[in-house]
Structure 1
Amino acid sequence: MDLDLRKLRYFVAVAEELHFGRAAERLHIAQPVLSRQIRALEHELRAQLFSRDRRTTGLTAAGEQLLADAGPLLAAAEAAQRRVARAALGGPGTFTVGFMPGLIVTGAVREFSGRHQGLSVEVVRTGWDDQTEAIRDGRVDVGYVRMPLDARGLDMCELMTEARVAVLPADHRYAGKPSLGIADLAGEHLLQDPDAVPEWRDVAQELRTDAPAPVPAFRTVEEKLENVAAGRGVVVLPLSTASYYTRPDVTHVELSDIGPNRVCLAWDGSRHDPLVEEFVSVALAHRPPVPHGLPLD
């Protein structure tokens, strides 16, 4: 039995909405049609994917497993469609490199471009929310990524590590200190996903007595820094990112007792593309520069 990608997309919509009506609206199809497609998928997989009653819809254990597997499958299919469409256009071809904020990838890109004069080598800035999805869905061929991340289906090689810093308002009581410990930030409002800074999350849970404030959904470094400058909280960033986005109303202080941020090159582990393999070797020879010390604000 071949897995029908259209039915899989329908399943993901219902699994994310946990409501057949909302999922049908999102997919722009009639609800009875969606229900029939889900029943057909359950029949094909010989597994019940949803537990349903008159009021609620939930995922079964089989549904949870399929949802975990669906993302990489759909992304791989989208990536294949992108690559086929590019190849069908003819021309010299394109190789796309993704990179996270604060990283300088010019050396590797120039070297690789020089080796392939007929190839269009492009760069795309990615963020915490899409650094791996851009690889999986084919928007980029390789990506300079920052840990931690979901590495399922990816191959990676480490390029560098760098210190992490607390980014604070310029008038914060800790501004100007030579360094801080993560416990110093336990009472601060973190303006990012706590899972990105598990050391802060663990210390804050242990030391704080009040309920943590909701985490805002800031998508970019620029948004986070605007809110830091406004005194709404702090963020923890790699040193290169904080240095790249230096501004007069924020400052950063090195964190002395948490591990460094790891920068890796990542690519789709299911692809066997000589260009990807060659870029990996070039990237290892032209690693992003590591910041040394904290610049004066």
Structure 2
Amino acid sequence: MDVDLRKLRYFVAVAEELHFGRAAARLHIAQPVLSRQIRALEDELRVRLFDRDRRSTELTAAGRQLLQDAPGVLAAAEGLTRRVRQAAGRTETFTVAFMPGITVTAPVQALLARHPGLAVEVLRVSAEDQTAVVLDGRADVGFVRLPLDRRGLRLRPLFTEPRVAVVPRSHRLAGKTAISVADLADDVLLQDPDVVPEWRDLPHRRPLRPGARPEPPARSVEEKLEYVAAFRGVVVLPLSAATHYTREDVCRLPVEDIAPNQVCLAWDAARDSALIQEFGDLAEASHS
């Protein structure tokens, strides 16, 4: 059985909105058409994907599983299409991925000036998918932050920037002009400790008390800052990422004894085109 990618995209829209009307508006199709496509997908898969009544739409267990798997399938299909077209010499678009806080305007505009017929697109990513979008073909290059899994990638260092601790506005350290990483030893770190090895290697840290809640499963910077504001812990972020989000309930503290963050340009090691190299030169020049 072959799954129709169009129906899969329709399913993702409904699953994310949990509302057929909003999903139909998002997809720019009529709601009855969307309902028929979802029913057809359920018939093809021989499962029910949604429990729906007049008041609500909820995912079934099968629907939750499909929502977990579908984005990867769609991304792989999109990447496949881009790679095949590029192999045939049809470089219609050049997509640049970037992390929050990193500005890519200068090299993008420089590339457009050199190649007026090229459509250059930008794609915002997170720490969780900054390498995946390059490896699966959704982006030609990505501005990434280390550390990351380097397998399958080529990296070109661009610049470094200081990192800061983000704490609640009424935190015991708030108001200090600078701190050391040891000052954070009694706080809960709301990110992978390997990202902040200086904190991880501290000899004395507050152990998690019996019965205490574990660290929240924060993924995006926005989620981390929500937890910081709620006194669930602290985060250490590159300065540009921290200043990208304006909030009155948290504050930034320079950390004197922590290594700066390295930003690199990344691309698939199997693809080393002249256009990628040219953009790398422009990106490096814009940050020199």
SS of the residue aligned with 2:201?
A: helix
Alignment partner, residue 261 of structure 2: 261
CA distance in 2 between counterparts of 1:145 and 1:232 reads 27
Deviation for aligned residue 1:82: 3.0
Deviation for aligned residue 1:139: 0.9
Alignment partner, residue 197 of structure 1: 196
Q: 227-236 or 81-90, which moves further after superposition?
A: 81-90
CA distance in 2 between counterparts of 1:113 and 1:285 reads 15
AA of the residue aligned to 2:250:
V
After superposition, the CA RMSD in angstroms is: 2.8
SS of the residue aligned with 2:236?
A: strand
Q: Report if aligned partners of 1:147, 1:264 keep a CA contact under 8 Å in 2.
A: yes
Alignment partner, residue 239 of structure 1: 239
CA distance in 2 between counterparts of 1:99 and 1:219 reads 16
Q: Quick one: structure 1 residues 281 and 200, their matched pair in 2 at CA, closer, same or farther if it must change by over 3 Å?
A: same
Q: Does residue 1:210 correspond to 2:198, yes or no?
A: no
Deviation for aligned residue 1:229: 1.0
Q: Report if aligned partners of 1:78, 1:138 keep a CA contact under 8 Å in 2.
A: no
Deviation for aligned residue 1:89: 11
AA of the residue aligned to 1:201:
R
Post-superposition Cα deviations, 1:254-290, rounded to whole Å, max 9, x if no partner, equal 01001100111111112131111111111111129xx
SS of the residue aligned with 1:199?
A: helix
Q: Report if aligned partners of 1:193, 1:215 keep a CA contact under 8 Å in 2.
A: no
Q: Quick one: structure 1 residues 124 and 194, their matched pair in 2 at CA, closer, same or farther if it must change by over 3 Å?
A: same
SS of the residue aligned with 1:134?
A: helix
Q: Quick one: structure 1 residues 200 and 135, their matched pair in 2 at CA, closer, same or farther if it must change by over 3 Å?
A: same
SS of the residue aligned with 2:139?
A: coil
Q: Quick one: structure 1 residues 155 and 215, their matched pair in 2 at CA, closer, same or farther if it must change by over 3 Å?
A: same
CA distance in 1 between counterparts of 2:278 and 2:161 reads 25
SS of the residue aligned with 1:207?
A: coil
CA distance in 1 between counterparts of 2:175 and 2:83 reads 54
Alignment partner, residue 140 of structure 1: 139
Deviation for aligned residue 1:217: 2.1
CA distance in 2 between counterparts of 1:84 and 1:143 reads 16
Map 1:69-218 → 2, pairs under 5 A: 81-84=80-83, 86=85, 93-203=92-202, 206-208=203-205, 210-211=207-208, 214-218=214-218
Q: TM-score, normalised by structure 2?
A: 0.68
CA distance in 2 between counterparts of 1:111 and 1:171 reads 44
Deviation for aligned residue 1:247: 1.3
AA of the residue aligned to 2:227:
N
Alignment partner, residue 280 of structure 2: 280
Q: TM-score, normalised by structure 1?
A: 0.66
Deviation for aligned residue 1:211: 3.1
Alignment partner, residue 26 of structure 2: none
Q: Which runs of 5+ in 2 are unaligned?
A: 1-44, 47-72
CA distance in 2 between counterparts of 1:87 and 1:118 reads 15
Aligned length: 215
Q: Report if aligned partners of 2:83, 2:137 keep a CA contact under 8 Å in 1.
A: no
Alignment partner, residue 250 of structure 1: 250
SS of the residue aligned with 1:214?
A: coil
Q: Quick one: structure 1 residues 188 and 133, their matched pair in 2 at CA, closer, same or farther if it must change by over 3 Å?
A: same
Post-superposition Cα deviations, 1:221-280, rounded to whole Å, max 9, x if no partner, equal 111111111111110000111111121111010010011001111111121311111111
Deviation for aligned residue 1:194: 1.4
Deviation for aligned residue 1:161: 0.7
State the identity %: 54
CA distance in 1 between counterparts of 2:248 and 2:94 reads 37
Q: Report if aligned partners of 2:185, 2:206 keep a CA contact under 8 Å in 1.
A: no
AA of the residue aligned to 1:211:
L
CA distance in 2 between counterparts of 1:88 and 1:219 reads 35
Alignment partner, residue 33 of structure 1: none
SS of the residue aligned with 1:156?
A: strand
CA distance in 2 between counterparts of 1:91 and 1:280 reads 20
Deviation for aligned residue 1:135: 0.8
Alignment partner, residue 219 of structure 1: 219
